[in-house]
Amino acid sequence: MLCGAARVRVSNVVLIVFEFPESGFVVLIVFEFQMSVLPNIERYILCTQGLRSELSMANSFRKLVSCVILDLDGTLLNTDCIVSDVLRVYLVKHGKQWDGRRAHRIVGKTPYEAAAAVVEDYELSISADELLSETSPIFADQWCKIKAQPGANRLIEYLKSNGVPLVLASNSPKANIEEKISHHQGWKESFSFIIGGDEVKSGKPSPEIYIEAAKRLKMDPSSCLVIEDSLPGVIAGKEAGMEVVAVPSLPKQSQLFTSADEVINSLLDFRPEKWGLPAFEDWVEGTLPIEPWYIGGPVIKGFGRGSKVLGIPTANLSTEGYSALLSDHPSGVYFGWARLATQGVYKMVMSIGWNPYFNNTEKTIEPWLLHDFNEDFYGEDLQLVIVGYIRPEANFPSLETLIAKIYEDREIAEKALDLPLYLKYKEDTYLKKSLQHSC
Q: Under 8 Å CB-to-CB from 249, ≥6 apart: which residues?
A: 74, 75, 78, 80, 107, 229, 230
The catalytically annotated residue of 54, 243, 269, 366 is 366
Q: Under 8 Å CB-to-CB from 300, ≥6 apart: which residues?
A: 316, 317, 318, 378
Instruction: Find the helix or strand (DSSP H, E) in which 14 lies.
Output: strand 13-20
* Catalytic annotation present for 408: no
Cα-to-chain-centroid distance, residue 246: 9
Q: Please count the CA atoms within 13 angstroms of the CA of 393 that sit on its side-chain side.
A: 24
Name the phi and psi angles at 227, rounded to 5. Answer: -120, 120
* Catalytic annotation present for 71: yes
Buried b (16+ CB within 10 A) or exposed e, 380-403: ebbbbbbbbbbbbbbeeeeeeebe
CA 209 → CA 9, 192, 200, 267, distances in Å? 24, 15, 6, 22
Name the phi and psi angles at 14, rounded to 5. Answer: -125, 125
Q: Evaluate whether 227 touches 208 at the Cβ level (below 8 Å).
A: no
CB atoms within 10 A of CB 68: 22
The catalytically annotated residue of 19, 54, 71, 428 is 71
* Catalytic annotation present for 261: no
CB atoms within 10 A of CB 65: 25
Helix, strand or coil for residue 397?
coil
Q: Under 8 Å CB-to-CB from 439, ≥6 apart: which residues?
A: none
Q: Under 8 Å CB-to-CB from 438, ≥6 apart: which residues?
A: 341, 342, 381
The catalytically annotated residue of 19, 73, 243, 409 is 73
Residues acting as catalytic residues: 71, 73, 366
